[in-house]
Structure 1
Amino acid sequence: MALTNEIMGSSLVERSLFPSSSPSFQQKRGSFLINPVLVPLGNRRVLKLRKSAKFPVAAISEDLVKGSSSSLSSSSSSSSSSSSSSVPEEKPVKFKVRGVVTIRNKIKEDFKETFVKHLDALTDRIGRNVVLELYSTEMDPKTKAAKKSSEAVLKDWSKKTNIKAERVNYIAEFIVDSSFGEPGAITIINNHQQEFYLESITLEGFATGPVHFPCNSFVQARKDLPGKRIFFSNKAYLPDDTPAGIKTLREKELRNLRGDGSGVRKLSDRIYDYDTYNDLGNPDRGIEFARPTLGGSEMYPYPRRCRTGRGPSDTDITAESRVEKPHPMYVPRDERFEESKQNTFSVKRLKAVLHNLLPGLKSSLSAHNQDFNDFSDVDGLYSVGLLIKLGLQDDVLKKLPLPKIFSKIQESSQGLLKYDTPKIISSEYMVFLLSISC
């Protein structure tokens, strides 16, 4: 009986605390975080909570849990967004980049070139100088164009005017952003009165290391060639792999080299436009000097020559007027002979004239016209000279009224009167052959 009352008492306590008999409790019981249980203790059953419950029991619905979690996530996201918005965006840092510009001087200058060179040195001090600008391989998202640096000028141009060295280095300093990227092109404006030969440009200060621009071209004055000269780095790209920042510049440079097929070419131009050979003859001098056009037909479309754009001749409209000496023929500026090549060509031409003229004089004037007796006579043409070995000195110089002057000319022009040693018998070539054979 006592056990029955105890059980009934415990059930009453349970019913009073948790009305499980009611339908609403059966429906909401699964929503409790911690459920009560009856634990048997000897002959009695005691109402206890789970050991994991260390906090007051509360009835929380699933919707409330979801709402709280969503509110927590929204609050965390709002706090993160507010924190991210509160942190200012990092602005690009500007830094300085140095460029070394190598310019090659002329070997010999006439009076006019020297005067213009000193005039450029004076005008460079007042702002008429050489201006450079860098272009990145990346695009600027705001302007939709290539990123550019600040303009820079060549320093100490006026101070280095009198330097007689073959190559002179100038310094140019550019200001770029930290988000500039890799430089891909550089533009140059020559505000001087005279052209100069730009050999190379080297940039130092980028994280990728030094960037080299092999130029090897003449930069014309702005009065002769309006606009900017464009040079690209030594990094090659396929057409489809060309970076977006320099793609427009490459297309512009290609148009400048091709030309548009109009106008008369100037000596300062560097346009590679082509035309047929319709200037081989000169019909204005007579019908016997007329020549047919070479190339341009369906059967023989080639050869081609550089287009000059000169007007037609007076007697034949299909023939282009010729350019006679001393007026030079048009050749793209970068393809013309430089000073060293031009001097070598002039010397070789003079040698060819002397080597063909003097033997003829010897055979017509000398009384003792002897042939070569052995190989030593042939070797003498390369070691001693032409006049002595051919016997022209004894026969001709005695008949001239000024033999002393002629002998001085001979002494000063011994290099011209000697034949160039063939490669097959030169000492360097023989050493090379011996090294290969060994």
Structure 2
Amino acid sequence: MKKKTGSPPTIEEMDILHQSEAIFLFATEGILIADKQGKIVRVNPSGAEMFGYEPEELADLMIEDLIPNRFRQMHTAHRMNFNEHPHARSMGSGMDLYAKRKDGSEFPVEISLSPYQNSKGAYVIAFVIDISIRKIAENKLVSYKNELEVEVEERTLVLKEAIQKLEKTKDELDRALKREQEVNLMKSRFITIASHEFRTPLATVLSSLSLVEKYGDLDENEKRDKHIHRIKSSVRNLTEILNDFLSLNKLEEGKVVVTPESFAINELVDEIGQQMQGIAKKGQRIDCICEALNDSYEVRLDAKLIKNIVINLISNAIKFSPENSSIQIKGLLTDSQVIISIKDEGIGIPEAEKKHVFERFYRMSNAEAIQGTGLGLSIVNQYVLLLKGKIDFTSEVNKGTEFIITLPRYL
């Protein structure tokens, strides 16, 4: 049954109207009604209180009066777009929205928009919620999260540092253990080598001394001199063995310190050549040649280490070369480098064993009958490295070997 036009509202309609009014008046959310031009038509008590106004003060204000100044122009454009396509939606989805109170203070809000029409025109209802308390809680949560992240990062850093220290300690222990093993191995090899290498020269010394004494009584000078030479050679072999082990021990303990000084390299090479000529085998000839591209032989290096290097290499050349052979020592000075080579006509190094040349205690298969420790070239290599240089070699079996040392001219 249709209601007659102009008839008074029914009790049901009045109840609905009263309910709608009650919702508007007693809602805890702010409810604002504005026309298409953005002019505020009506505000509920919660909305007026939220913005710090009396309800009647909001009449005839524009919606933009409740928006912070920095957002007003943008909001006007958004409002016009909404009027072209009105539909119920949340405002500023995914954005932080702010409203402005009468006193100018700002506060965060959530806003939902719903368009409606009546006989007087089109309107928009805005439902506004003050989310200040929620924002404070969110900010506290973010702050706590950041503090927690910082604390976790700090704890992680402490843990990383602890792990690094443990790893460093482990590495140090591993190195110490490895060195201890190497030292024990070195001691074991020293005992083996010493017991073998010392026996022959000592026996030679004893027998030769007996013969020297015998020939001395018989006035046979030539035979006596021969055995004196054998005694000197044996004592020299013993000295070389001991020197090798003493040098190795100093290197192992880090007691070899490089002490640069200025000196003429040609004078040092000549001095070493003359010194070593005195212990060369019969007919062996040691030739020394030095050249300087700028006519100056001055260098700044550790003379003692260079002397040890060159003497060790010449000793090998003498030991592994036959009588009546030639040993050449060459020195070449450039503006920045010193190149020293020692070349012999000895037994050479087998091709398959060249990779082992600088290994500690290694002895070539073709040198087993010749006394030695297998330490000399290892020591030479370490001395060269201490002088920031490098050592290379070329060798052919039964034709000879040439060692080439390249050093910086100035340290």
Q: Which has the higher helix share?
A: 2
- Could you state the TM-score of these two structures normalised by the residue count of structure 1? 0.27
- Could you state the TM-score of these two structures normalised by the residue count of structure 2? 0.28
